[in-house]
Structure 1
Amino acid sequence: MNEERDYSFEEIPDSSHNEQDFYAKFRERLDDVQKFPADYLFKFIYPTSEVTMNEIKGLYTGTNAEFDYKASANRKYTSISIKLYIIDADTVINYYKEVAKIEGVIML
Structure 2
Amino acid sequence: MSTGENVSAGLNEDPYENFRSLLQQSVVFPTEYTFKFIIKADKDKIADLKAMFANANASISETSSSGGKYKSFTVQVFVQDGEEVIAYYKEVSKIDSVIML
**Same-fold status (TM-score > 0.5):** yes
Local SS of the residue matching 2:63: strand
List per-residue Cα deviations over 1:34-92 (Å, max 9, x = no partner): 11000000100001111111101111121110000001111111001100001000000
2:13 and 2:65 mapped to 1: Cα distance? 30
Q: List runs of 5+ in structure 2 lacking aligned partners.
A: 1-9
Give the TM-score taking structure 1 as reference length: 0.80
Aligned residues: 92
More helix by share: 2
Give the TM-score taking structure 2 as reference length: 0.85
1:74 and 1:46 mapped to 2: Cα distance? 13
Q: Specify the code of the residue in structure 2 equivalent to 1:62.
A: N
2:52 aligns with one of 52, 55, 59:
59
1:94 aligns with one of 67, 87, 96:
87
2:26 and 2:42 mapped to 1: Cα distance? 33
Percent identical: 37
In structure 2, what is the equivalent of residue 27 of structure 1?
A: 20
